[in-house]
Structure 1
Amino acid sequence: MRHFAHKADRRVLTSAAVTASAIAVLSAVGLSVDTSRPAPPEITPLAESSPSTPTVTEAPPTSLTTGPSPEKESPAPEDPGAAHIEPASVPDGPLGIPGIALDAFHRATDRLNTEKPTCEMDWTLLAGIGQVESNQGRGRFDVHGNTIGRILGPRLDGSLPGTAVITDTDGGRFDGDREFDRAVGPVQFIPSTWAGLGRDGNDDGVADPNNIYDGALAAATLLCGQGGSMADPAARTRAVLAYNNSLAYVANVNAWAHGYAVNAFPLPSDLPEIHQPEPTIEPPTPPERCPDGWEGEPTAAPESVAPGEPEAPVPGCSEVRRPPAPPAPPTPSASPTPAPEVQATSPAASPAPAPMGLPVIQLPCIPPFCVPPPPA
C-alpha cells in the first residue's frame, strides 16, 4: 500500500539528501538569477525549448503561495504501483499538492522504476517539475486527471526572447494552434516531443498531454532517457536541463523536490528567477446546443462530475416546462341505466305491492276490524 503522506521512508530521505546536495552545488556558483547559460552541446532540450513556460488568462486559486507561478501510442506494461482507486478520494499531499497529482507522480515513479530500475526515479522530482511548470495544473483536475481547461505555453513563433521557432506539428490537436506549436499540459510538452514520448499513464487507451497521469509518465520517461540515476546529482541535473535548458530552472525544480520530500516550503533564496510567464489556461469549450428537453444558448461548459452521478446542467440552458395535460373525458359506462329513485312512502298511505307474479285477493271487511265508512 502506497504511503502518500508525510512519512519519510528511505527513498524520500535519499531524495532529500540528493536535492539538498544539488541545491548546494548550484548555490555555490552564485545562481540568484537566470543565467541562461547554454548546456553542453550534447544536451538537447526535449520538453521546453527555452526558459519560458506557459502564459495565464484565467488563474484559478491555488493552495501553493510560495515560489514561481507558472495544462495510444505503444502499449504500457501493467501498472505495478498502487491500486486503481478513484483519484477524487485521494487527499492532498505535502505542501498542498493535489491528491490526484500526487497519485499520478507515484504511479509514474513505480512504473519507471519497474521498467528501468537503474534510473532510480523519485516522485518528488516529478512533483518539482509539475510545480515549476504549471503550479500543479493550478490544482484544477477532473476525477480522471484531465486538466479543466487546456494549459498552454507561449506560441513558439520566435516573438519572445530565447524561444525557438517551431511550426505546427500536430495540426492543432493538442494546442489548438495550426501555425506554431505551444507547450501543452500540466508538465508542458511540445506536441512534436509528445509524438515520440507520450505515454498512457492511466490505462484508458489514450496518451493525452492534458492528463496528469499521462504527462507524469512521459516526463519520467524523458528524464530517465538522459541516462544515469536520478539519485546522482550530476545525472539528475543533466536530465532536468534536457527538460528546460536553464540552471535557474534546475535550482527551482530541485528546491521544490526537496520541499516535497521534507514537507517544507523552499526559501525564496532557493528559487532564483527563471524569467518565465505564467501559464495560459483556456476554459473548456461550451457545447454547441442545449441538451434535449432544454432550451436557450449554452454560455459555458458544464461542471465535471464524478462517474455515476447525473450530468451537471449546462449554463445558459433552461429546462422546457410543458403545460399539464388536460383531464381525460369520462368514458361511457357499459352498465344499464339505473332505475329512477322511488320516494319511500308510509305503509299506511299505500299497501306494499304484492310480489310480482302472484294474484291480488281483496278480502271482505269483518267487524269490528273494519273502519266505518264516512257519513253520507
Structure 2
Amino acid sequence: MDTSRSAPPDIAPLAESSPSTPTVTESPLTAESTPEAEPAAPEDSGALHIEPATIPDGPLGIPGIALDAYHRATDRLNAANPACEMDWTLLAGIGQVESNQGRGQFDVHGNTIGRILGPRLDGSVPGTAVITDTDGGRFDGDPEFDRAVGPVQFIPSTWALLGRDGNDDGVADPNNIYDGALAAATLLCGQGGSMADPAARTRAVLAYNNSLAYVANVNAWAHGYAVNAFPLPSDLPEIHRPEPTIEPPKLPERCPDGWEGKPTAAPEPAAPGEPQLPVPGCSEVTPPAAPPAPSTSPTPTPTPGHEAPPAAAPAVPAPPGLPVFELPCIPPFCAPPPPA
C-alpha cells in the first residue's frame, strides 16, 4: 500500500500494493499454460505469433481494446448494480496509473503481450506487505511470494476473491484487460455508494490503493479521458511510498527480577546475540553471602583384625495402635553379653 503527504483514512488496500512501475516478464498465462512456460517479450521472435488487437485507439491514445473493456465492464456493472453509477473513465484512470494501459500491448483476446508484474511482496521493498504465495505461481510466476499482476495490478489472493471473467471465455485471468476491468469495477462498487459522489468515489479508490496522491492521479486521468485533454503536471502529485513504522520501546512497569528501583526509561536495544542492557533507574540487588558448608570428618579406615562391629539394624516401630510384646531370650538364640 502507499501513503501520501496527506494522511488518508485507515482503509486496507485490496488490489495493488506499491506505486512502483510494474515489470514486464513472461507472456500471460492461458488456461493450458504453466508458470514454467518459456518467456516471450514483445520484442522477441517468440511473440510474433501473437495477433495484436486492432481496435482503434480512443481519447488520449488509450488502446481501443482497453477502452472496449472499460465500457463493457461499466455497462455490465451498472446493469447489475445501478446505484453504483460506475463511469468508464474511472476504470481508465486506474488502468493508466497502474500500468500505462498495459503499455498498450494486448492481443485480440485482451491478454497483455508480456506479463506485467508488481514488486515481489517479500518485504524487501519499503512500504510493501509480505504476502507469501497464494496461487502456486499460476498468475505471477512466483511460487514463493505474491506479486500484483496484470494491467490493473491485482494481488493473486485478492483475485481469488474478486476475479471475474469479463470476456466470457470461461477463464478469469488478471492478465486479461476484460477480466481485470470487471474485477476492478466490482472492487470499487463493493465499497458502497455512487461513483458520482466524490466522497464515495474517494473511499472506493483508497480501497484500491491507500494513498490520496493515488486518488488525485486516478481522478486527473479520468477527467482527462472524459474531456480528451492530458492532465497538467500539477494535477499528478508524486505517489509516495510509506516510511517504515518504527515504534519506540515501551517503559517497563517494574525492574527485572534481581533488580531494584523504579524504571525511568526504556532500555536501549541490545545487539543481536548480546545480553539485554540494564534498565535505567534499576540497580542490581547484591545476593546474600552463602552460609559455609558444614565440615565433614573423614571416615576412619579400620585396621585388620579390629573391624568395627556391624551396626545394629534400626528398630522398626510397631504400627500405631497395636500392643508391643517383649519376648524372653531363649538360648542359644540370645545375643552374647558385651565384653567386660
TM-score by length of 2: 0.61
Preserved CA contact (<8 Å) 2:52 2:105: no
Structure 1: distance between partners of 2:25 and 2:134: 24
Structure 1: distance between partners of 2:135 and 2:5: 29
| 1:36 CA displacement | 5.3
Structure 1: distance between partners of 2:140 and 2:191: 26
Give the AA of the match of 1:98.
P
Gaps of 5+ in 2: 30-50, 242-340
Q: For each residue in 1:173-224, what CA deviation from the matched residue of structure 2 results, as whole angstroms up to 9, or x when unmatched?
A: 0000011100000000000000000000000000000000000000000000
**Percent of residue pairs bearing the same amino acid type:** 90
In structure 1, the partner of 2:14 is: 46
Task: Summarize the Cα distance change of 1:145–1:52 in structure 2 as closer, same or farther, 3 Å threshold.
Answer: same
Task: Summarize the Cα distance change of 1:223–1:87 in structure 2 as closer, same or farther, 3 Å threshold.
Answer: farther
Describe the SS at the equivalent of 2:182.
helix
In structure 2, the partner of 1:272 is: 237
Preserved CA contact (<8 Å) 2:53 2:108: yes
Task: Summarize the Cα distance change of 1:191–1:109 in structure 2 as closer, same or farther, 3 Å threshold.
Answer: same
In structure 1, the partner of 2:110 is: 145
Q: For each residue in 1:282-328, what CA deviation from the matched residue of structure 2 results, as whole angstroms up to 9, or x when unmatched?
A: xxxxxxxxxxxxxxxxxxxxxxxxxxxxxxxxxxxxxxxxxxxxxxx
Which of 195, 205, 220 is 2:185 aligned to?
220
Higher relative contact order (CA 8 A, sep 6+): 1
Preserved CA contact (<8 Å) 2:53 2:106: no
In structure 2, the partner of 1:358 is: none
Task: Summarize the Cα distance change of 1:57–1:88 in structure 2 as closer, same or farther, 3 Å threshold.
Answer: closer
Q: For each residue in 1:19-60, what CA deviation from the matched residue of structure 2 results, as whole angstroms up to 9, or x when unmatched?
A: xxxxxxxxxxxxxx962555333x2210023444524579xx
TM-score by length of 1: 0.55
Map 1:241-256 to 2 at 5 A: 241-256=206-221
In structure 2, the partner of 1:102 is: 67
Describe the SS at the equivalent of 1:218.
helix
Preserved CA contact (<8 Å) 2:17 2:148: no
Does residue 35 of structure 1 match 2:4? Answer: yes
| 1:225 CA displacement | 0.2
In structure 1, the partner of 2:83 is: 118
Structure 2: distance between partners of 1:56 and 1:89: 21
Preserved CA contact (<8 Å) 1:52 1:275: no
| 1:161 CA displacement | 1.1
Preserved CA contact (<8 Å) 1:133 1:188: yes
Preserved CA contact (<8 Å) 1:34 1:272: no
Preserved CA contact (<8 Å) 1:36 1:51: no
In structure 1, the partner of 2:127 is: 162
Give the AA of the match of 1:39.
P
Structure 1: distance between partners of 2:108 and 2:223: 28
Gaps of 5+ in 1: 1-32, 59-70, 72-85, 277-376
Preserved CA contact (<8 Å) 1:124 1:260: yes
Structure 1: distance between partners of 2:9 and 2:61: 36
Give the AA of the match of 1:40.
P
Give the AA of the match of 2:117.
L
In structure 1, the partner of 2:226 is: 261
Describe the SS at the equivalent of 1:221.
helix
